Structure 1
Amino acid sequence: MKMSDTRQIAAAPADVYAALLNPEVLKACVPGATEVSGDSENGFEATVVQKVGPVKATFKGQVTLSDMIENESLTITGEGKGGAAGFAKGGAEVRMRPSETGTELSYDVEAKVGGKLAQLGSRIIDGFAKRMADQFFTNLQDTLEGPSDEAEDDADAPAKKGWLGRLTGKE
């Protein structure tokens, strides 16, 4: 299964790149992630709980980063085992370039599954993989930009800052 997409993120390429190297940001962005530890040099270990069709599994796996060009691009490769449910592996080539609104982020994702998951059929798997990738990059965008204007409609709601603002204490 392969897919590609492009997103506009209202943050500088350096901030987007730094976010992709931060285990706390990755934990917040990966749908179903319960644990992410490690670093960009040695790789990350992750635990993700997901339900694909009728199959629910806890995947434990490794994520490595390669082909890293600071503030421009990187390749994310991961593999996880979900016990009797099977395995999932894949990767994403992520590219960032400055745009008028911040960063144009584009990605190409490829994913493969085996075991019980593979028996569900390609339509279910392809739809699930697309939703996972879309949700990851939506979560990344929300983490970097803070809440959308629609989320700020409630004037009494406390202001939320993007991840960089929360870490530095400024917006």
Structure 2
Amino acid sequence: MELANSRFVPASQQRTWNKLIAPETLKVCITGCETLERVSDNEYLVGLRADVGPVHARFKGRLKLTDMKPPHSYHLQFEGEGGPAGYAKGDADVVLEPEGEGTRFAYKAHADLGGRLAQLRPDQAEKIARKMTDNFFSLFSVCADKTFERNEQAKVMKVPVEPDPVVAAHRSEILSKVSWLVVPGVIMAIIAYHTFMH
């Protein structure tokens, strides 16, 4: 399965990079993610529950980032095992570029599926992967939003910030769903991690 696309993230390139490699952010943004542990500067262990079409299972996976050029790009390798449900493995290239006041997040990923996952029709697997990617970016954009960045900086500087009612309402609505929205990788089930890649 091949996936390639780009999304706009309303945050600076550096902040987008920082959030993208932060375990606490990824755990919130990856659908079905139950555990995400950084075991080294560029490697993560992931535990997630995935409902991929007719396949329902828990996966254990490993993500490794290589060729890192912060805050511009990296190469991601992933693999996950779900017992009888099957496995997913593959890789992805992620590139971040400044765009206006935000960042253009581009990715190209490839995944191989085995076991019951491999029985999904190509169009069904792609539809599921794209839905998971959409969920990931919806949550990630909220976590990385520059509005919240300014609020965080103000807290560090101990300067009170008046909350924007619209932003606050939107954030409350999104965060109320966080416990139900947890994604395999952009690309592990989407790629089946983090797609599920990614």
Q: Shorter-chain TM-score: which interval?
A: 0.7 to 0.9
Counterpart of 1:84?
84
SS state of the match for residue 11, structure 1?
coil
AA aligned to 1:120 is: L
Counterpart of 1:116?
116
Question: TM-score when scaled to structure 1?
Answer: 0.81
SS state of the match for residue 126, structure 1?
helix
CA distance in 1, matches of 2:70, 2:170: 34
SS state of the match for residue 84, structure 1?
helix
SS state of the match for residue 35, structure 1?
strand
Counterpart of 1:41?
41
Determine if contact 1:31/1:136 at 8 Å carries over to the other structure: yes
CA distance in 2, matches of 1:40, 1:103: 26
**RMSD after superposition:** 2.3
CA distance in 1, matches of 2:75, 2:60: 20
- Report the CA distance shift for 1:73/1:83 in structure 2 as closer, same or farther (over 3 A): same
Determine if contact 2:42/2:66 at 8 Å carries over to the other structure: no
Counterpart of 2:26?
26
Determine if contact 1:111/1:129 at 8 Å carries over to the other structure: no
Structure ranking higher on relative contact order (CA contacts 8 Å, 6+ apart): 2
- Report the CA distance shift for 1:9/1:39 in structure 2 as closer, same or farther (over 3 A): farther
AA aligned to 2:76 is: I
Determine if contact 1:22/1:39 at 8 Å carries over to the other structure: no
CA distance in 2, matches of 1:46, 1:109: 18
Counterpart of 1:130?
130
For structure 1, the residue ranges without an aligned partner over 5 or more in a row are: 161-171
Counterpart of 1:51?
51
Per-residue deviation, 1:54: 1.5
Per-residue deviation, 1:111: 1.8
What is the aligned residue count? 155
Question: TM-score when scaled to structure 2?
Answer: 0.71
- Report the CA distance shift for 1:40/1:22 in structure 2 as closer, same or farther (over 3 A): farther
Counterpart of 2:93?
93
For structure 2, the residue ranges without an aligned partner over 5 or more in a row are: 149-164, 173-198
Counterpart of 1:168?
none
1:90-125 Cα offsets, whole Å, 9 max, x none, are 222111111112111111122221001111222221
Identity of aligned residues (%): 34
Q: Which has the higher strand share?
A: 1
Per-residue deviation, 1:158: 9.1
1:57-116 Cα offsets, whole Å, 9 max, x none, are 100010111111011011222111001000012222111111112111111122221001
